[in-house]
Structure 1
């Protein structure tokens, strides 16, 4: 799979078995491991993007490191790190390769759902699998419906199994997953996670992701045709979004997206500075000898850093709010976490798009050479930030403060 070309339309087999993952013990170790992994996966990022290669080897390195298990509760053997640490880890990985950072998103969101709505037996079963290094891959979104929340995928119970049917798109991580969490509705219209083995009969992953950014996510199509899933692995995700007993799951899902964008922005700004220092020329009307001494360039980079610092600070604030909501979930604590994440998401989205765009303005025409691959930052930021519209983030923040209305409870809020 290391040479898989994303978007070639092939049916992709399940990944081979891997050795058990390392188990990370605390926040400090998680950040240290993330720094090491990020440094190693950054090599080859340009070439992978240029050739549309799926980062299978790098993904194995990432998940084998134990970073995919850091939110497993301590009672089940995990580190249960703070969400501030989660944000830091995702930023580091996404700065190295934002596609690889995104591959973690649905996995960690699923860990949160299991924690909040899974039975004790499901937690013991699935958390052990996660700590051993098993990866979740997403089978959630569909196309052709009125909104992203409208799903056609259904399941019916049959003995000790459920049987699931549907077609999924934008299935980030499913290509290289060990377990695929299929979002399906019961006969009452409630959403569940039917967690199928990647090699389950009837579950077909098609490599047809054709977007111009985030190519390495391989977010293709999943056909679900009479897939049988043991009922013990069907998790009541709908319980996470009950108004009277909400959980932090919606905030967690959006928080990880925000951290990916912050990492993208950090990387773009670093690349801009490197290019300005080493290759860019001062403008003809400037008295400066070096591009790095141009006052307008200095001002522009200062502005980008201020906005990035604000975005990272709000990401940390959001992480702390999530920790409170996980520890003591209530309508008020969950709403506070959602609002903190929305504020963070606004700034990380805007700085990701602005920094990746201004890279070329400040670096100049030479930076557009395709051999450099610098366009990947803008393409990745533009595609990834389409997960949910920032205009709606502004709306829920304003409505919360002005009218006291809590945000809606779903994975995009």
Structure 2
């Protein structure tokens, strides 16, 4: 696959693909929830224009990311006490869904950044919060070097670090590194000598850190979620975030990561449904037995669109509900409030997954053979939905929801929240 990357614009690096230069001017700071929605809506209108062509050519969206992060939307969950907007997670999920409906690769690239911002608020000390939130408010983007291939389970890591006084040296290899290619700083999940996971936040072009643009999935092609090589990368302890603290008790870190995943899928479902309606109205032909002059008057098509619309609205409503539960748990975290947030997010994750897949698949049945032509590129919706919803299996979401309803078993504390834990 040919990857379109403007290497000169990205800067210089010792190996792999070079990273982008940091912004010269501070990013805008959003005032409130209403402005966050307005800015997201305006950006989405611009991102939508080139989304199909970016997908077609697997172009990495650097100009769009620069506009996105400089708009202030990448700092919307920085708390007000540190100079940020501190918007609700209901609003944050809506922002991600709006952007993802325009281009879900762009929505997903922001996902881990926003999750890291939430984790810093949960686990960092005051000095580290001021330092790292200050970076975010200046428009610096966090990437992701979390997951590894070859370990027995997703939450097991071989990447580790060694203490060297005022810094650590990190060594390992990552894959599914969404956002690392176009990030300014790369949080690396690495374990210490006790097996505890930390975010070691490295400079994107630090010696020994190599980002390889080898993402070849058929969907979410613009995310560049490929390989990161980490060979004795130096990270100052000021940038060593104790991620493990976010999962040692009732904390919302896992639910934050999950609600953003659900919001991306809600956006994919919305885009697929909107494009189905537009195609049926403007280009599809009615079936010969319908007796109709327009495809949009076919009673079976009307019924199918009605069904998808209800399911999309239900998914979006559960996403709002999950955001409210998450906001409540962040305000007063305890075992019950955090479990309620996890369960609400799990319910939203189920329905957003299902509507993304259903809408992107039903599109072709309702729009007809013409909708499969390469010129239309409508298959990108299904490819994006099928790829992104593989992040974690919703069959386990049913399990934790059912086990709580039947047996009072709360979800566990990890970034996927998909394995039953112990009774409350």
**Could you tell me which residue of structure 1 aligns to residue 420 of structure 2?**
none
- Where structure 2 has 5 or more consecutive residues not aligned to the other structure, the ranges are 8-14, 418-424
Helix, strand or coil: the match of 2:410?
coil
How far has the Cα of 1:3 moved from its partner? 3.6
Residues 223 and 403 (structure 1 numbering): CA distance in 2 closer, same or farther, change over 3 Å?
same
Distance 2:64 2:88 in 1: 25
**Could you tell me which residue of structure 2 aligns to residue 52 of structure 1?**
58
**Could you tell me which residue of structure 1 aligns to residue 42 of structure 2?**
36
**Could you tell me which residue of structure 1 aligns to residue 10 of structure 2?**
none
**Could you tell me which residue of structure 2 aligns to residue 277 of structure 1?**
281
**Could you tell me which residue of structure 1 aligns to residue 5 of structure 2?**
4
Distance 1:16 1:136 in 2: 13
The reply on whether 1:17 has 2:18 as its aligned counterpart is: no
**Could you tell me which residue of structure 2 aligns to residue 95 of structure 1?**
101
Contact 1:184 1:192 in 2 (8 A): yes
Contact 1:15 1:177 in 2 (8 A): yes
**Could you tell me which residue of structure 2 aligns to residue 307 of structure 1?**
311
Distance 1:378 1:150 in 2: 30
Distance 1:167 1:289 in 2: 58
Distance 1:358 1:389 in 2: 21
**Could you tell me which residue of structure 1 aligns to residue 340 of structure 2?**
336
The reply on whether 1:372 has 2:373 as its aligned counterpart is: no
Distance 1:385 1:357 in 2: 14
Helix, strand or coil: the match of 2:288?
coil
Aligned counterpart in structure 1 of residue 293 of structure 2, from 289, 292, 296: 289
The reply on whether 1:326 has 2:327 as its aligned counterpart is: no
**Could you tell me which residue of structure 2 aligns to residue 131 of structure 1?**
137
TM-score, structure 2 as length reference? 0.95
**Partner deviation per Cα, 1:227-282 (whole Å, 9 max, x = no partner):** 0100111011101111xx32111111000000000011001000000000011011
The reply on whether 1:206 has 2:212 as its aligned counterpart is: yes
| Off by >3 Å, runs of 4+ in structure 1 | none
Contact 1:311 1:348 in 2 (8 A): yes
The reply on whether 1:149 has 2:155 as its aligned counterpart is: yes
Aligned length: 407
TM-score, structure 1 as length reference? 0.97
Contact 1:137 1:179 in 2 (8 A): yes
Contact 2:107 2:264 in 1 (8 A): yes
How far has the Cα of 1:156 moved from its partner? 1.0
**Could you tell me which residue of structure 1 aligns to residue 406 of structure 2?**
402
RMSD value, Cα: 1.2
Aligned counterpart in structure 2 of residue 121 of structure 1, from 120, 127, 134: 127
Contact 2:346 2:397 in 1 (8 A): yes
